[in-house]
Structure formats: structure tokens, C-alpha cells
Amino acid sequence: MEACRSISIRSLLLLVLILIILTNSAESQLSNNYYDASCPAVESVVRSTVQSHYNSDPTIAPGLLRLHFHDCFVQGCDASVLISGPSAERTSPANVGLKGFEVIDDAKKQLESMCPGIVSCADILALAARDAVDLTGGPSWGVPLGRLDGKRSSASDALNLPSPIEAISVHRQKFADKGLNDHDLVTLVGAHTIGQTDCRFFQYRLYNFTPTGNSDPTMNQAVLSQLQTICPKNGNGLTKVAMDKDSWTKFDVNFFKNIRDGNAVLESDQRLMGDDATRPIVQNYAGNIRGLFGIRFNFDFPKAMVKMSSIDVKTSYSNGEIRNVCSKFN
């Protein structure tokens, strides 16, 4: 009887252990040395490709970072945003203006000639985003690899991407739904330090933010005047504006200082100072002791990126593949 009970307990413990393994996070299924044997040149090829495109057009850096974010927040980090087609994800209004597709295609073409059928487009995109940050003076980090490319891409799936006009409470919930906390939210929004946006995405803040037709009262008046000059009321709204005043080509904490001082361009960025959960994080990054705030952000950003780039990754061929060409399914 005791022997049967012992076997039963061992069987139960074994079952629990199996369930823990099966339900472990996607991050643990990835590996920094995933391609060491099968395609050891993958990181150098991606890096040189990003470098080449960046030398010709520095705006490709924030483009790649945004492309990776938009990919991960829809169907997980599976390169679904790279698929080309009339109803594919990249055609969604939320993805208008995305850049960097040609960089991923270029790197993929080179890798297919060296290691055919080995490296996924999703992994190339994750590496390219890391290299984009590094090239603009930000931190670098080891990228866990081993993602497969997804087999679905639909424009309707991208409709729930975070929007600059949404309340911070909505953003917090959308990030939480992806397993990201408030600290991750603020840290990842820091990617806007090297970004630009169109006037049309914030023009309402300049002219008709309130019911009486006034500007957003939280906006610094000097910045308001500058933006009204760049984005006239009757303009086409397509003029590009830096999201990090005075420092948009350099990955640094100046972006958070701008939020603290009322200089943020996008409403959602400025609202980080109005939310009790996110305000202290912004203040910590903006800092008041020389040097410490930059170190803190450079330490946190890689961790948040690794966490984000592990959202709902595909590691089974039952729902993933290694695409031959990144813009179309096999």
C-alpha cells in the first residue's frame, strides 16, 4: 500500500514538473547562441546590413525599432508585419509610415545565400532593432533567438495597437495584456528618443484640443509656438517632427526630461507625467543627479526589449515556419 502511495506521489510530482516545463515562458525557449552552429555569421550580417542602411539614412534606426514594436504587439514577435499583400498587417492604418522593410529583406537575402532555410525573419528583425539602438549611442544587449515566422498577417489584427490619443490607463492595460508592466511601458516608450512623427498625429493638441478650440494646456508655451510654426493649422499634416526636442538622433534620456518639462510632442507621451503609476518612473529617468539617470535607463531598456521581443513567439512548426522571403509566406 505504501509503495503504491509512493509511486502515486512520484507520478503526481512528475506531472507537475512536466506542466511547469510546458508552460514555461517563451523567453526561456529562446537562446542567445541559437545559431552558433547552424549560421554563426547571422549577427554580423544583420549588423553590417543595418549599418549600411543607417549610413545612407539615419532615420532607418527609429524605423526598425518601431517596426519591431509593431510586430510584437500583433500576433507576437513573428514577423507578421513584414508580409506584403492587400489585407496584410502592414496595410493597417496603424502601420502607415513604417520603415525598415528593405533592411530586413536585404539581410534575409544575404543569409539565405549563406544559410538557406535557417534564420527566421522574426529573429532578423529583433537583431536589427538592437543594432539600431546601438548605432544611435544607446545600449547593446544579447538577443535571445529561435523565433519562427508566423503564418498569419491581417490588417484588422493591428487595429488594437497603442494609439497616441489613448489614455495612459488604456496603454497600461494593453501592455499588461502582453505581460509588460508599467515600468516596461515607460522604458519602452523611451524609444521615442530617436523617433519622428507626422504633424497629423498631434496637430489637434496645437489648435483644437479643448472644446473651446484652445491648445493643450499641459504643453510648454515655447514648444507650442515652435510646433505651430512647423505644423500650420491648414497644413497637410505630413511634416516630420522630432519626438525628442534637440536630441532626436541620439539615444539618451533627454526624451524624459522633455516629458518632465512639458515638451513632449505626442499626447500619450506627455500623459505619462499625469499618471500616478508612470510619473515616478519618468522622473527617475529624467533625473536630478548628473549621470545616474542615463545609467539607469541604459540598464533597464535592454531588459524591457528582451521581455517585449519574447511576446507570444512561435517555436513550433505547427504554427510557424522559416520564410524563404520575409514579405510572403512559404
Active-site annotation, residues:
70
Q: Which residues pair with 198 in a beta bridge?
A: 240
Contacts of 275-283 with C-beta under 8 Å, sequence gap 24+, read 275/168, 275/169, 275/172, 277/168, 277/172, 277/182, 278/168, 278/172, 278/182, 278/185, 278/186, 281/182, 281/183, 281/186, 281/187, 282/186, 282/256
Helix 121-135 and helix 60-72: axis angle, to 10°? Answer: 140
Work out the number of other CB atoms within 10 angstroms of the CB of residue 122.
32
Grid coordinates given for 260? 518632465
Angle at 147 between CA 140 and CA 97, to 5 degrees: 70
Angle at 327 between CA 323 and CA 328, to 5 degrees: 60
CA distance 151 to 245: 40
Question: How distant is the alpha carbon of residue 68 from its chain centre?
Answer: 5
CA distance 214 to 221: 12
